Structure 1
Amino acid sequence: MNIQLTISMLVSDRIETLGKCLASLKPLLRELDSELIVVFTGKNEETLELVRQYTSHIIPFTWCDDFAKARNAGLKEGRGEWFLYIDDDEWFEDTTEIIQFFKSGEYRQYQSAFYVARNYLDFQGKRYSDGGVGRMCRLTPETEFVFPIHENLVPLGEPCKHLSTFVHHYGYARKECFDEKDTRTSRNLPLLLEMYEKDPDSPRCCMQIAQEYRSVSEFGPAVEYCRRGLGLARKEKQIYNYELWLQVHLPLLIFYTGDLRLALEEGERILKHPRTLESAALHLSVTLVAVCRGLKEYKKGLKYVNLYHEKFCYLLEHKEKAVLQSAAGITFDMAAKEMIPVYMDGLFFR
């Protein structure tokens, strides 16, 4: 049988979400010539019993603090024309668009595809951010995962299809009351700091460390690594999505420390930099409006309300740029959600 799509997933013992994940894959497995490969890192026999209801292709994997190695164990056994991966703590809302992508033959025109990860910040699903994730590609001998933490699937060739299909992801959810620091950060941060010691010139690693510190509200070190990462990113010829993240978050993280004046100065410096993209300017204007409100610099605040409007209209007209200029939590849709607060501030500033 010619397999169109290999679906691979890491499974630990998160039985509370695994059922939803597997059920969401049913339409893909039913409608497409596809296979499901599970890389099992858990120990619970109940978990395996549930997995066996969907696939017999199960790869036992002893966890070694390396997500890329674990995912590559599944990838190397894939037989599909295309490859898609997902985790056991997330599930698709609707896979109709992916099914149509393959059934129509449209997939033959592309080398890779993004779908959307809806990352929830609480277990009630009230707060979340959407971000495009490159988790689908044509399977070639060169396809692999890189980076032990926050791993990437490479190469993601062009042309690339951007799908509106999304997964619900509760992996970053925070409990209402904190008795201890987030277990993901306590796991990831030491590994990332070790990676940084080996490769101190990696802006991507700096971004990831800043993200981990931010997630537990340690904004001082988050600012330090964000600033360091942005300096390193600017030395590169190409502008990658991690530079976009660093551009937007440096003044925001400074704002969180309470130093509004420095946040304003840093934000204005970044806006003037020739590498700052339209999407970054849009998100930066949201932060600077809030900063100016706090500093009671209303005339300057109105300037950034106008900048928000200018960049919003530009990206609304140039939708391809709006899609391409995105990073984790930095999308056109996320900035659009700030429209009413920004415009309300504009009325106040007048």
Structure 2
Amino acid sequence: MAVKLSFCMIVKNEATNLPRCLNSVRHMADELVVLDTGSSDGTVAIAQSLGATVHHFAWTNDFSEARNESLKYVTGDWVLVLDADEVLTAEIVPVMQLAMQQENCLVINLLRQEIGATQSPYSLVSRLFRHHPAIEFRRPYHAMIDDSVAQLLKQEPHWQIVDLPEVAILHYGYEPGAIASRDKFQQARMTMERFLVKHPGDPYVCSKLGALYVEMGKVDYGIELLERGLAQQRKTPIDAPVLFELHYHLGIAYSRLKDVERAERHYQTATEQPILEALKLGAYNNLGTLRQAQGNFPGAKAAYEAALEADPNLAIAHYNLGMTLKAMGQLEDAIAHYQKALQLNPIYAEALQNLGVVLLKLGRVEESMAAFQRAIVLHEQRNVQEAQRLRSGLRQMGFEI
């Protein structure tokens, strides 16, 4: 029997992104529900022109409250939720439809690709779920259904949660110009801190808020929060994805403090969590970088190879593996990985520059100069000082570019 799928979203001033998002779902969803929270541009008219039913809600600075309001208008058997800067991939539709046919399936977690993010390009999000009265969004900033689902599973244990390993959502929030502003950082911080006052040991909020503080440069306080979240493991088991986040961000924090031993331990523990391998890419890559800086080239090589096993198309991992292989004297292999990085990212100036270095070491001067020339052109567009430094260094060796 066919299931009815409802799509719902909350928006405010998303006239630019909305057409791309709605066009990715409108041919597979049976209804489109859009909750507008106070747009002053053409958002409402665009949503209606693409077949959505638009409802209005006064913004209360609580994402969960708005998302739960949108669920009130849903009539389908299943609910798909996206943000305006996200797109559903066409390839995932038949996989989703098959998964929704499973009788005891309650939630289908979708793999989201973070477009423009180099270190951690994937995340797993609970955005497709059965329209069950007990499922609701909780938490004011990082609104998610996970808490209510966990509670429901205690009462109705027959339900199952499914993870789809294929990329389902493309998220454009990491593109240049779309990165959160300082004001948004402050909004996130204040909202999560209010939540933390009432839930002081919540591992999820400790991971998100701790990571935010580390990113803002308040590393010591970020570590305190991350360690506080991790300490909850002594009282009750922490879900593997949250445990991964705690260890991963502690690895970043201790790296910034130059505490290599602790950083490596946390990155290693993060990679051992039972989650999708694609979600561990940042941890593998950072672990490799840490080991490389310490001269542990075999260990760095193993970490980068693990990253590439999870995602063969991760350009930064190919570049980093090339750097490690160069340091190990495996020059031909290094060239192969630099070239693969450039195939994936043709404007990767650092890969071109180091490709030039290795080709020169092998006596392939003409190829080397061509790589250096392309690197200089790219550096001149983004880093004039590096372009000048590279040109000067080549001149000192007798090469004029």
Shorter chain as denominator, the TM-score bin is 0.7 to 0.9
Pairwise CA distance, 1:44: 2.2
SS in 2 for 1:145: coil
Aligned length: 315
Pairwise CA distance, 1:235: 3.8
2: distance between equivalents of 1:181 and 1:274? Answer: 28
Equivalent in the alignment of 1:333: 311
**5+ long unaligned stretches in structure 1:** 317-331
Which of 118, 122, 134 is the matching residue for 1:130?
122
Pairwise CA distance, 1:202: 0.9
Distance change in 2, residues 1:114/1:142 (3 Å): same
Written as runs of structure 1 = structure 2, the 5 A alignment for 1:178-327 is 181-233=181-233, 235-255=235-255, 257=256, 259-260=257-258, 262=259, 264-270=260-266, 276-277=272-273, 284=283, 286-294=285-293, 297-298=294-295, 300-306=296-302
8 Å Cα contact 2:6/2:74 also seen in 1: yes
Q: What TM-score comes out, normalization by structure 2 length?
A: 0.66
Pairwise CA distance, 1:64: 0.7
Distance change in 2, residues 1:190/1:334 (3 Å): farther
8 Å Cα contact 1:121/1:128 also seen in 2: no
Larger radius of gyration: 2
One-letter amino acid of the counterpart of residue 187, structure 1: Q
SS in 2 for 1:183: helix
8 Å Cα contact 2:285/2:307 also seen in 1: no
* CA RMSD across the alignment: 3.7
Equivalent in the alignment of 1:151: 143
2: distance between equivalents of 1:52 and 1:127? Answer: 37
SS in 1 for 2:27: helix
Residue 142 in 1 paired to residue 134 in 2? yes
1: distance between equivalents of 2:307 and 2:91? Answer: 30
Equivalent in the alignment of 2:327: 348
1: distance between equivalents of 2:270 and 2:238? Answer: 13
Which of 37, 40, 45 is the matching residue for 1:41?
37
Report the identity percentage.
20
Equivalent in the alignment of 1:324: none
Higher-RCO chain (CA-CA 8 Å, sequence separation at least 6): 1
8 Å Cα contact 1:97/1:163 also seen in 2: no
1: distance between equivalents of 2:287 and 2:173? Answer: 30
Pairwise CA distance, 1:201: 0.9
2: distance between equivalents of 1:237 and 1:69? Answer: 28
Written as runs of structure 1 = structure 2, the 5 A alignment for 1:7-156 is 7-29=7-29, 34-44=30-40, 46-55=42-51, 57-92=53-88, 94-99=89-94, 101-102=96-97, 106-108=101-103, 110-121=105-116, 129-154=121-146, 155=149
8 Å Cα contact 1:20/1:91 also seen in 2: yes
Pairwise CA distance, 1:42: 1.9
Distance change in 2, residues 1:86/1:274 (3 Å): closer
Pairwise CA distance, 1:68: 0.8
Pairwise CA distance, 1:63: 0.7
Moved segments of 4+, more than 6 Å: 271-275
Pairwise CA distance, 1:249: 2.1
Pairwise CA distance, 1:148: 0.9
